Amino acid sequence: MALKWIKILTLLSIGATAVIVSDEASKGKCADFNNTIWIEYKQGTKVQVQYLLLTRKNADCASLFTQECLNHTQQHTAYFNSTLNTIVIIHGYRAIGSKPSWVSGLAQAFLQKEDVNVLVVDWIYGASFAYNLVVKNYKEVSVQISVLINQLTTYGSTLESFHFIGVSLGAHVAGFVGTLFEGKLGRITGLDPAGPMFKNADPFDRLDPSDAMFVEAIHTDSDYFGISIPVGHVDFFLNGGMDQTGCARSKFASMYGYVICDHMRALHVYMSALNGSCALTGFPCSNYEKFLAGQCISCDETFNGTCPQMGLLKNSGITVSPLPKHEKVFLLTTSEAPFCAHHILIELKVSRLEKSAEVQVTLISMSGAETEQKLRLQTDEMIHKKVIGHPECLCKIDSIQLKNTGARFYRQGNIHFEYICISEIPKMRRSSLCVENINIGRGAPWSHDFIQVC
């Protein structure tokens, strides 16, 4: 444990310094995060919290939001409008006490979408250096935030109008604010809620569905920095929730790729979801393997036909009541913004096999987008199913290829398929594209072009 954190501290201190410098250069008299330095930390840093306010009237110049501001004596108070919803953004652990670089992007994404107040919580002074000490601090931060929220309610905001966005450890800070308000806050979104020291914690001490009227979480690194258990009414597990596409696994990859790419992916995908250029919807399933095996292709039973969608729809688009709890939903994403993948179900029936075999299926769109998937075919199963993520919809797929990739390794001969079908889930108007009676010989790829009408 200790060694792991030392490694991370060392790695992060390289990249983050550059961020501080470039940020400071571009700021005029706008309020900004305060950085903590190691000296201050050693002197016994107290938990200090400050708030930055961004609205459509000051979208690119944050003002410091203090309790005096509420008194309407200072000019920038005018920016806070208590009849609007308030987004509260809470960052997580900051290894070397630097400002999180993503804050303004996230705030902008909200402001473009809706006329809201965005309050950014800066608790860098409590969030830096030793992770275990930071975890000790987080409830004190929650208490301070709750004092502010309480005051805002006396100025006309309702508890329901608050939507907390907690990144990593910030998700549990938000959760404890929710506990203090007995679950009456409107919404909490946990972006890869922190796992270390929380997974086995009592629900009182971490984010859980009782913390707000609606709690959702997005999981992208649940085998390392993120939490692996569901903590919301609905929990989106992206690509299984552990390893993200495009985040390099190799230790020779960039520092970012190696250390926090998976963990921060939740934030980047959420920003895309706010952007709203395409839908990111999840399928309820007990685990990822079943989802990939095509056993969870509909939202009918759990959600009465409407799959939960990431973004700002009320209750993520869930219409059933009461809301489910700890409902795991799975989705695939692409490796870059806007991250949306169409879920294509491949179904094939193979004629009797002498021994297990392997084929590669490739889907190709008119635009040239290609998705490949290897399938292991076992002798005791005739029908095989697989869900894959393709950047474009079924109606843009204009060709399918099959290759007998096991010919060499498994010494397999020709394979005969009774049919292969592809369809998009959840089932759309255009149901499926099928080809029947296919022979794939060794070293002879097969392909078929679909005539599409979209």
| Residue 26 makes contact with ligand NAG by CB under 6 A | no
Exactly one of 50, 142, 222, 405 binds ligand NAG (CB under 6 A); that residue is 50
Stretch that binds ligand NAG, among 17-25, 80-88, 173-181, 292-300 (CB under 6 A): 80-88
Residues 186-211: b if buried by 16+ CB within 10 A, e if exposed = bbbbbbbbbbbbbeeeeeebbbbbeb
**What mask, x for binding ligand NAG by CB under 6 A, covers residues 235 to 274?**
------------------------------------xx--
Q: Which residue numbers are catalytic?
A: 168, 192, 263
Only one residue has tokens 């094939």, namely 348
* Helices 131-154 & 169-180 angle (0-180, nearest 10): 40
Instruction: Please state the closest distance from residue 450 (CB atom) to ligand NAG, in A.
Output: 29
Instruction: Please state the closest distance from residue 452 (CB atom) to ligand NAG, in A.
Output: 25
d(C-alpha 102, C-alpha 120), whole Å? 12
Query: First and final CA of the chain: distance in angstroms?
Result: 54
Q: Which lies closer to ligand NAG via its Cβ, residue 231 or residue 271?
A: 271
- CB-count exposure of residue 267 (10 Å: 0-12, 13-18, 19+): buried
Only one residue has tokens 């005791």, namely 380
Q: Which lies closer to ligand NAG via its Cβ, residue 106 or residue 297?
A: 106
Q: Which lies closer to ligand NAG via its Cβ, residue 334 or residue 423?
A: 334
Q: Which lies closer to ligand NAG via its Cβ, residue 132 or residue 277?
A: 277
Q: In 3D, which of 286, 258, 290, 296 has the Cα closest to residue 425?
A: 296
Exactly one of 37, 130, 337, 366 binds ligand NAG (CB under 6 A); that residue is 337
Q: Which residues from 267-296 bind ligand NAG, rule CB under 6 A?
A: 271-272, 275, 277
| Residue 137 makes contact with ligand NAG by CB under 6 A | no
Exactly one of 83, 254, 335, 447 binds ligand NAG (CB under 6 A); that residue is 83
Contacts of 4 (CB under 8 A, 6+ apart): none
Instruction: Please state the closest distance from residue 154 (CB atom) to ligand NAG, in A.
Output: 8
| Residue 73 makes contact with ligand NAG by CB under 6 A | yes
Judging by DSSP bridges, how do beta strands 342-350 and 50-54 pair with one another? unpaired
Exactly one of 48, 58, 146, 360 binds ligand NAG (CB under 6 A); that residue is 48
- CB-count exposure of residue 43 (10 Å: 0-12, 13-18, 19+): exposed
Instruction: State the number of binding residues for ligand NAG (CB under 6 A).
Output: 18
Q: Which lies closer to ligand NAG via its Cβ, residue 14 or residue 337?
A: 337
**What mask, x for binding ligand NAG by CB under 6 A, covers residues 162 to 201?**
----------------------------------------
Q: Which lies closer to ligand NAG via its Cβ, residue 332 or residue 357?
A: 332
Instruction: Please state the closest distance from residue 182 (CB atom) to ligand NAG, in A.
Output: 25
Bridge partners, residue 363, by sequence: 371, 400
User: Beta-strand (E) ranges in 220-263?
Assistant: 234-238
Q: In 3D, which of 431, 430, 394, 391 has the Cα closest to residue 277?
A: 391
CA torsion, ordered 197, 198, 203, 205, to nearest 10 deg: 60
Q: Which residues from 92-111 bind ligand NAG, rule CB under 6 A?
A: none
| Residue 335 makes contact with ligand NAG by CB under 6 A | no
Sign of torsion, CA 7 8 11 13? negative
Binding site for ligand NAG (CB under 6 A): 34, 48, 50, 71, 73, 81, 83-84, 115, 125, 271-272, 275, 277, 304, 320, 337-338
